[in-house]
Amino acid sequence: MGDLTEPFQFEFFVRGMVAATLVGVLCGAVGVYVVLRSLAYIGHGLAHSIFGGAVVSFVSGISFYIGATLWGVFTVLLINAAARRRQIGGDAAIGIITTCAFALGVALISRHGQFTRDFDAALFGEILGITSGDLAVIGGVLALAAAVVFAFWKQLLFTTFDSDVAGTYGVPVPWVEALFSLVLAATVIASLQVLGATLIAAALVIPPVTARLLTDSFTRMFTMAAVLGGASGLVGVYVSWFVDVSSGATVVLLQGALFVVALAWAVARSRWPGTGSGERLAAIEGATLD
């Protein structure tokens, strides 16, 4: 029994566990909008783009959080503007802008020759190196996201469902999109230290898609995705201590396992008529990771 409580003796572990839980809730909830807007790729792209921003802020000597936030919001706004051009399209806009931003970061690193441990953490995550300051940033972003979602619940839902028609009903679509871009960029930045650029996309996509398999109601999907994300963060970090595997990878693998269970359940239920699982299975088509 003593072995099972052993990790809680270490403050850095408890901090990491709290951080992973909060980031799980944050990514699960924000990821619902990402998945339903068919932007699964944006989490992946944005995380890499912000890595470029992190390098630029390091080279320019400004705070990582300030530099990366400005960079992230700028990138999302640029993606939105490029995606509105019919000749380009959303997926291509994400591909071009985020990889160029990432390449800029790599170019600066090779020019300055300082690939420090911090950048390693930004790419792969270093949950047990979370400081009290990082925890405060994660808590702050979660509070911001909760406030925005609460205050603009209907507007966010309407623009996610059908932004064209939302405009005809008087929803200020460009403002809502800009607000969502800010929340998404802040979410990715806050999650960078915990999960790393390479695993953020999974945390944004897997819990919402798992929740979608289990319900047809937006409200329930939102709640389930946040709970699944938070629970997998909590349990994943705890388990990683004992199996001696990277915490971020354990969290994502746990989310993947939950997705497989939900998929198996949905497939089984789809064989029973009138359960609606067949429709839900069809609905998540295409919402997988790139």
Partner 1 sequence: MVELAPSAPGHRPPPHPDGEPLVQLRSLSTGYERTPVLRDVDFTLRRGEFAGVVGPSGSGKTTLLRAIAGQTRRFAGSVETHPRPGERALRLGYVPQVEAINWNFPLTVGQAVLLGRWREMGWRPWPRRHDRELLANILERLGIGHLADRQIRALSGGQQQRTFLARALIGDPDLLLLDEPTSGVDIKTRHEIMHLLGELNRAGTTILMSTHDLNAVATHLPRLVCVGEGELVADGAPEDVLTPEVLRRTYGADMLVLRRGDAIYVVEHLDDAMTGEGDSEETPVPTTPVGG
DSSP 171-194: --HHHHHHHHHHHHHHHHHHHHHH
Please classify residue 27 by burial: count the beta carbons closer than 10 Å to its beta carbon, then call 0-12 exposed, 13-18 middle and 19+ buried: buried
Q: How far is the CB of 20 from partner 1 (least distance, A)?
A: 26
Taking the least distance from each CB to partner 1, the nearer of 51 and 222 is 222
Taking the least distance from each CB to partner 1, the nearer of 74 and 218 is 218
Taking the least distance from each CB to partner 1, the nearer of 5 and 150 is 150
Q: Binding residues for partner 1, per CB under 8 A?
A: 36, 85-86, 150-151, 153-155, 157-158, 161-162, 164-171, 212, 215-219, 221, 276, 279, 282-283
Write down how long the chain is.
290
Number of CB atoms found within 10 A of residue 84's CB: 11
Q: How far is the CB of 125 from partner 1 (least distance, A)?
A: 30
Q: What is the spatial distance between Cα 188 and Cα 200, in angstroms, rounded to a whole number?
A: 7
Q: How far is the CB of 86 from partner 1 (least distance, A)?
A: 7
Q: How far is the CB of 39 from partner 1 (least distance, A)?
A: 14
Q: What is the spatial distance between Cα 89 and Cα 169, in angstroms, rounded to a whole number?
A: 25
- Furthest C-alpha separation in the chain: 62
Taking the least distance from each CB to partner 1, the nearer of 151 and 267 is 151
Q: How far is the CB of 269 from partner 1 (least distance, A)?
A: 14
Let me know: does 180 contact 79? Beta carbons within 8 Å. no
Taking the least distance from each CB to partner 1, the nearer of 143 and 245 is 143
